[in-house]
Structures are given as C-alpha cells and as structure tokens.
Structure 1
Amino acid sequence: MTGSPERTCAAFLELADRHAPGLVEGLYLQGSIALGDYRPGVSDIDFVAVTNGRPDAGALRRVHADLRARHPAPMFDGIYVTWDDLRRAPGERPRGPAVHGWRFAEESGFERHLVTWHVLAQGGVAVRGPSVAELGVHTDWEAFARATEENLATYWTRWVEGSSRPLSLGGVAALVGSRVSWGALGVTRLRHSLAAGEVTSKTAAAGYAFETFDERWHRIVREALRIRVGGERQYSHPVSRRADLVAYMRMVLRS
C-alpha cells in the first residue's frame, strides 16, 4: 500500500499518539511539499515533529516500524525537535532524534541545519500545532549563504571530481539516472537559491538554468528534469550523458 502525504501523516499521528501519548505536539512538513515541488512516486515526505520533551527511542522505533508496514512508500523522513529548538540556530543542538530511510536514530545530524529551518519558515505546512508563522523559526540568510558556498566548494566539488573518473565508484554511479538528476539539479538549486535569496526547488532550479546558462547546457538539464518528472529521453548512451553532467556541474561550480 502506498500513502498520500495526508494519509501517511494521519497514520503517523495515530501511531505516535498510541505508542507515546501526548509526545508529538506539532507536526510540520518541509522539503518538496513546502516548496511546492512534491512529486508522487518520486518525492519523500519530509517532516519536523515537535515534542514536549525527550522522546522515548523505543516508542518511536515502534511508531516508524508500524508506519512502514502500513505505508511503505513514500518514505517518511524527518527530525524530532522541541519548540525552543526551532527558535535557535540548529548548530546549538546539532544532533537529535531522526528517521531517515525508515531507520530511526536517537542521535543524528540528519536535516538539522539551516536549510531545514529556512524551508520550514518559507512554506512549511502545519499538520498539527500552530501555524508556521507563529513558531518564530530561526533564520539567518548570511549564515545560510556561507554554508551553501562551503557546500559547493567541498561536498559538490569532491562529488564532481569523483564522478569524472570513469572506473571509480563515483564514475560508475554517475551513469545511473538518479545520480544524474541529483547532481545536475543539486548544484543548480544551490546556485539558484543564492541568486534568489531564498531556498528554491529542484524544478525551479531547472527553469533558472534554462534562463541563465548557455543553451549548450540545456540538454543535460532537460535530462535531469526528465528523470525527476518524466518526459522525452535526451541521451541514448549513459557515457556521453555522464560527460555532459560532469562538464555542466563544473561550469556551475565555477559560476
């Protein structure tokens, strides 16, 4: 059985209230749903659950195990925070309870960063609790921009260099469609966010690429978008696609 965001959230709250009564005081959706870019069958459901105290790890493991049995797709990924956590910079409490790929961790750094806080503040959807506007979510665009530039210079630069070596693990992985979409739209989204002054979606980033970058790069962007949302295949061979992916991403990193 698959679940829509509404059905999955309802099932989660019912299970949370059963296994840990009174614990979950707020439930908010961020990620692609908050950015207006949710794609059924492609996107995960990204949540922020607000609790009245330190959650019982065993209870939450049961909640997510039962939820997976009911609604195995899409994945329900997110973090557990307090109301005060959202009013502070995420770095003040860099680790906490989280679930990623159906695996619950009592102490994790997953999604505890300014991107999550900014997306939540921009367009978070309240499922339970006060409206997002009432939460006082901490935002800091200057710190966000610095962290984004650092991410481009470190993680993404290493990602591209690894993908450029044909026989390496990264090079082989870059032949896979999902990696093409992740790479091309990932770096473009960061550049678009910096230019727009707000966190943007992957689909919006593709539109930015078509408007901003030379036409020679449009083919690989169309292919990355096709992998995400469907459409006409742009390449007949994954090796030539990988070559264009690496060249495009290097261009974006230099821009």
Structure 2
Amino acid sequence: MNETKRVEKGDSPPVLATEAIHKSFRAGSVAVPVLTGASVVFREGLCYTIQGVSGSGKTTLLHILAGLEAPDSGRVLYRGQDISRFSRKRLAGWRAKAIGLVFQAYHLLPELSALENVNLPALLLGERDAKPGWTLLEAVGMAHRCHHRPWELSGGEQQRVAIARALRNDPEILIADEPTGNLDEKTGGEVIELLLDLQRSRGKTLVMATHDVRLARKGDRQLVLTGGKLEPAAWPRAPAEPQEAQEPEAFSGRSENSSLLRPPGSEMKL
C-alpha cells in the first residue's frame, strides 16, 4: 500500500469510536479493572491492530465494540450514535448487519455444512439465497469443500469458512479476536493474508486483536492495550516494512453531526 493511499484513507469518515471506556470484573469482593479509559476512532477502510498480552482486556474491548458487552462507563459511537441507547432488538439487528465477527475458536456449527455455516447469518435475517455464500467460499478458496462439516476440515479451513461467514451480510466492520491463535505459523500467515486481502479489496474496517507483534505490525493503524488504555504502538520498524503505519488518532469528541461529546480527560494523547 503506497503512502498516497494511506493519506486518502486517513481522511475517510469515522465509522466507530470509543469514548473513555471503563470496565471491571469482580473477583470475589474485589473489582478488578480491565479497561480504564480506552478511547480511539476507527475510520472506514482501515485495518487497526490491537496488541496486548493475555489478560490485557483485548477480548473485552472487542466484545464492547460489537455490543456483546456493556461498559461500566463510557460510550461506543457508531457513526455518531451511542449504541447503548439502542433497544435490544435494534442492537441485535445492528450487530447482524454492521459487524462481522471472526473468533479464535471458529465457532462453526458442527451439524451444518461449510456453505450452511456461511449462509447462517443471512438466514437469521430472513434471506434464503445460497449463492452469495457460495461466492464467498470461492473467495476464500473453500468452494470445493462447501458440503463438508466442520469436523471434516482442518483448522485453517475452518477459519477460512469463518471469515466467509463474517462477510456474509456485507458488514462495514470486521472484528477479529486472535484469528490465528489456534493455527500453526504457516497456516496462520496464509489466513491473515487472506483476511487482509478481503478487507482491503472490499473496503472494510478491520479491528483485529492479537498478542503477536509480527501480526500487529500489519495494521494500517497499530495500537497497544496496556494498563487498560489504548496507546499508539512504539516498537521499532520491522526490517521488511519500508513505511511505518500511521499512528491512530485520538477520539476528537465529535459525532458525525459535529456535536461536542468531549468528556474531560477521555482522549488518547498521541
């Protein structure tokens, strides 16, 4: 990707933003903080990587972004709209249409074929056309395995099917949680290149969590989750990368409608 394209994409509209997200979990009578003011903007068509050690809160943050968990305080804004104000039905519908999820453990239904698994998100919205699922299986190199059950597929093949499923409803945003965590290095590398190729060619916003610095370097914007906050990555430039990825921008506090939403001290300082 050349620098000109990076600048053009950097000017794209924000599609998702977090505003001073806090989240704690109970350990007996003690509240253990996981997120302590995570704020960032995610723009259209860019890949954001979030690197952090196990237990740093990456999965919790992704769940909050997708509306699967609610923060203790702070907000998630989708095109300027606070998703916490959505009704349960509207939130589920938004997630089904706007968000594509890729998990470490694949989460394919064992009784369904690869094609049926890919088409399941559309079926839940009342669409019965199987052709888009077939097209997506072709795109991930799995059309020849369309009638196989998950237990008949390798880990890499299952993750390819899971990526196709995530794209089935043509979401604006892909959220991937350790997508190579269950794969060997070679297979994981192939899956990541496939995911990035599909993200770029289809103009999706990708938010991907990983503990692997080598994988995190592949993002257009590279973040580290540490101490419950998101910071721009500061590791040395990889020898194979001629250009550094641009730093992520702080959440400006403005919605799509330009209304001021800036809480004191909520922004990531770069």
Taking structure 1 as the reference length, what is the TM-score of the superposition?
0.30
Structure with a larger share of its residues in strand? 2
Taking structure 2 as the reference length, what is the TM-score of the superposition?
0.28
Relative contact order, CA 8 A, sep 6+: which one is greater? 2
Structure with a larger share of its residues in helix? 1
